[in-house]
Structure 1
Amino acid sequence: MRYLPLTDADRRAMLDSIGVDSIDALFSDVPEAVRLDGPLPGLPTHASELSVERQLTALARRNMVAGDVPFFLGCGAYRHHVPASVDHLIQRGEFLTAYTPYQPEIAQGTLQMLFEFQSQVARLFGCDVANASMYDGSSACWEAIVMARRVTRRNKALLSAGLHPHYVSVAQTMARFTGDDLHSAAPALSAETDLPTLLAAIDDQTSCVVVQYPDILGRIGDLSEIAARAHEKGALLVAVVTEPVALGAIRSPGEMGADIVVGEGQAIGVGLQFGGPYVGLFACKEKFVRQMPGRLCGETVDAEGKRGFVLTLSTREQHIRREKATSNICTNSGLCALAFSIHMTLLGEKGLRALAVANHAAAVAAADRLARGPGVELVNTSFFNEFTLRLSKEARPVVRSLADRSILAGVSLGRLYPGVDALANGLVVAVTETTTAEDVEALAQGLQEVLA
């Protein structure tokens, strides 16, 4: 039996109350060109479970599996080895079915896990405090910009040219509704970052400067000077980390003066998963904690002196008046945060540093080998496990040709920045501990053939 909770009269009353003529009017912000005006074409109205299973299996077999071919994709989503114990533990019933703890102090296991997660993120980022996670890196980046506006009471944000364009796009989409003034540009295909340009652009109206570390081309810059300049002008420095494994080898943004550090935690404990779900990381200085979005779990003792965990801070739209809330993000990525925390615990500090060293060493070897090929030039003078190549031909068709050879060569900058001719020949290559010398040689040989 169909579940129809509302009558036509109920719907009419609600539409009249909000002042629209029809339900379709609620979707006016969605362009007509992308709206469906009927059932999806080519799909049957019904099919048996067996038939659907066969069709979906056939479609899945058309995918090229990351672990089956030489794989060099990165730009915010990385293939790392995730120990089998991570998946085993997160599938325990008490974890897999966990949801928002509306009676939080009863859910001591959930709160303890989130407390440990927060502690790991804060230490990794070099910050005083971290929250219990966000949806993903891009939404965490936007929340940092909004938080900076609340702290400084300014609305001008400078976005580094090295910030991932998808993060920029998310921020621009949200700024349409808040009035934040965002300044951004495309990066230059060079070894130098745009930090000197940002330094000159900071003024008395700037709320924050947003930089990625390492940036979209894999370049690593010292954030200390830009942090000092931002603070001199009363602005905040927001650092974005899309590859947290890098912080096992390079200085944390918090150590260099960043006020808010956000990022994507997918690289630790979470698989590629076709782009999600992922886990957003968010940390800041303690003095800004009451402006931090999301929720914060804390440690305390009960009446008997026993260790316990509580929901210390949760300034969300569900809990207080909406206009006073710091964010409309109403939950956290609990299961992915758990995977992150388990993997981080298994690694420990020494393990994370060893993993970072292995990644960097593999990337250096790959960069040296690839740069020796004809028609290939290494752009970077500094990088962790991701670097940019300048090819003698446009990178997008090169990537497609190599995919036909079962080599996933990397991310073409023409794909990330369509229409920016100066970046068309750029190819971002990511190398992790899962990349073998044979994979690198296959890519080198493939580039030589395609660029000939």
Structure 2
Amino acid sequence: MENDMRYLPLTDSDRQAMLATIGAASIDDLFVDVPAEARLAGTIPNLPDHASEMAVERHMAALARKNLSAGEAPFFLGAGAYKHHVPASVDHLIQRGEFLTAYTPYQPEIAQGTLQVLFEFQTQVARLLGCDVANASMYDGSTACWEAIVMARRITKRGKALLSSGLHPHYVSVAQTMAKFTGDDLAYETPELDSKTDSQKLIAAIDKDTSCVVVQYPDILGRIEDLTALADAAHAAGALLVAVVTEPVALGAIKAPGAMGADIVVGEGQSIGVGLQFGGPYLGLFACKQKYVRQMPGRLCGETVDAAGKRGFVLTLSTREQHIRREKATSNICTNSGLCALAFSIHMTLLGEKGLRALASLNHAMAVEAADRLAALPGVTLMNDSFFNEFTLVLPKDARDVVRRLADRGVLGGVSLGRLFPTAPQIGNGLVVAVTETVTAEDIDIFAKALEEELA
């Protein structure tokens, strides 16, 4: 106990007083929702009690050298996180002290810069997603997707959501986890290796209890479909259409979901301004129709004028529990990934509409080149009828083994469907390949030759 005092400055009596106040008999009572097999008994195995700072640095550096960095190999990974070129000016600007250290803008009179950035960000997101209004960002795409589902429940007063089989399985998993606490009924099936989406099946399943239909665009297999019919069917039954975009660069080339009738459009903003970063932090995008704005989670920045008539920015709507009573809150989101939102906004500003369209065109052109080359290999089939910068190949064997062997050869050759859907062996031969502007013709050649040899 004496050694712990440096880090845990509480006495046993302090702990007992705290437990008595909250009505718990022991500290273990606070962890009853964590399965016993997931709890650690005692200290972490094989971890030394102490080490010098230099020794720790050497050890961590050795571990880091085991990684194969995205910039060190032909890179074809996607499935929700994409390698794009981020201009150096983005990183330079977000590290300015007034941005990097700025806290959440509770006091608008001293946070005008932060509020203006978020206001401009909202405008960019609303235009990109084809909606009337966007909020000042969310944690990431998966949690934004869940927030859209519970927002639809608040609007429709219904508790059943239909999740497309083309929705990213990690997004589905997040929604299923959260639904355990809300009681929402989530209808979902794993996808099939088919160029056609499940839109007709979704339309047939819509009933009077459906709060929303959730569809990804482009979906996890890279398929693209006009959402108009799905939106019309949902609206006819009093339900909402939620569209999820994990690759926002695609919207420089294809029609925005909001323009096809989607009521709520959410997504992952990582592709624009934010690096891969080992999986985070990322950036959640959230937009909707104007009539639903008061049910939107998070917060909204607005433009106004001060007492002297000068333009100023304020938090117009703050419907999260940091600002209002918990029982009145639309969500308990405690951050809006503000620095990532700033990076998104700076990159988008540098691109402009013309630049975004050019970037999207380059992505698609490189993807078509790669798809043609790879589909010509013996035993390989291109599943997609249409795609943006991501498509699915069907291999003659389990794609997981192929991906591992390609990685051993220094080629990061896509994401196997067996990894994404471990309980669906019937689609285990599927390989999702992403091709962005960072891929070169040489990368495609190396990938194709390596894949052909692995399949021989």
TM-score of Structure 1 vs Structure 2, range by shorter chain: over 0.9
Q: Residue type matched to 1:336 in 2?
A: C
Q: Residue type matched to 2:321 in 1?
A: E
Report SS of the residue matched to 1:299. strand
Report SS of the residue matched to 1:351. helix
- Separation in structure 1 between the aligned mates of residue 262 and residue 53 of structure 2, nearest angstrom: 53
Report SS of the residue matched to 1:42. coil
Which position in structure 1 is the counterpart of 2:98?
94
Report SS of the residue matched to 1:389. strand
User: Counterparts in 2 of 1:59-74, with a 5 A limit?
Assistant: 59-74=63-78
| Match for residue 194 of structure 1 among 192, 195, 198 | 198
| Match for residue 130 of structure 2 among 126, 133, 140 | 126
Question: How far apart are 1:10 and its partner, in Å?
Answer: 3.5
CA deviation profile, 1:241-291 (whole Å, cap 9, x unmatched):
000000000000000000000000000000000000000000000100000
Matched, 1:255 2:283: no
Which position in structure 2 is the counterpart of 1:449?
453
Which position in structure 2 is the counterpart of 1:219?
223
Question: How far apart are 1:11 and its partner, in Å?
Answer: 2.4
Question: How far apart are 1:2 and its partner, in Å?
Answer: 2.6
Which position in structure 1 is the counterpart of 2:272?
268
Residue-pair matches, total: 452
User: Counterparts in 2 of 1:42-441, with a 5 A limit?
Assistant: 42-441=46-445
Which position in structure 1 is the counterpart of 2:38?
34
- Separation in structure 2 between the aligned mates of residue 302 and residue 99 of structure 1, nearest angstrom: 22
Gaps of 5+ in 1: none
Report SS of the residue matched to 1:408. coil
Aligned CA-pair RMSD:
1.0
Q: Residue type matched to 1:197 in 2?
A: K
Cα pair 1:90 1:339 within 8 Å, conserved: yes
Gaps of 5+ in 2: none
Question: How far apart are 1:4 and its partner, in Å?
Answer: 5.1
Q: Residue type matched to 2:434 in 1?
A: A
- Separation in structure 2 between the aligned mates of residue 34 and residue 54 of structure 1, nearest angstrom: 30
CA deviation profile, 1:395-418 (whole Å, cap 9, x unmatched):
000000100100000000000111
Report SS of the residue matched to 1:396. helix
- Separation in structure 1 between the aligned mates of residue 7 and residue 180 of structure 2, nearest angstrom: 37
Question: How far apart are 1:5 and its partner, in Å?
Answer: 5.7
- Separation in structure 2 between the aligned mates of residue 378 and residue 245 of structure 1, nearest angstrom: 22
- Separation in structure 1 between the aligned mates of residue 7 and residue 70 of structure 2, nearest angstrom: 41
- Separation in structure 2 between the aligned mates of residue 330 and residue 164 of structure 1, nearest angstrom: 24
Q: Alignment identity in percent?
A: 78
Report SS of the residue matched to 1:196. helix
Question: How far apart are 1:133 and its partner, in Å?
Answer: 0.4
- Separation in structure 2 between the aligned mates of residue 40 and residue 113 of structure 1, nearest angstrom: 44
Q: Residue type matched to 2:167 in 1?
A: L
Q: Residue type matched to 2:323 in 1?
A: H
Calculate the TM-score normalised by the size of structure 2: 0.98
Calculate the TM-score normalised by the size of structure 1: 0.98
Question: How far apart are 1:3 and its partner, in Å?
Answer: 6.0
Cα pair 1:144 1:238 within 8 Å, conserved: yes
Report SS of the residue matched to 1:355. helix
- Separation in structure 2 between the aligned mates of residue 400 and residue 230 of structure 1, nearest angstrom: 42
Q: Residue type matched to 2:120 in 1?
A: E
CA deviation profile, 1:58-96 (whole Å, cap 9, x unmatched):
110100011110000000000000000000000111111
Deviates more, 1:318-327 or 1:338-347: 318-327
| Match for residue 9 of structure 1 among 9, 13, 16 | 13
- Separation in structure 2 between the aligned mates of residue 103 and residue 438 of structure 1, nearest angstrom: 52
- Separation in structure 2 between the aligned mates of residue 117 and residue 371 of structure 1, nearest angstrom: 39
- Separation in structure 1 between the aligned mates of residue 205 and residue 395 of structure 2, nearest angstrom: 32
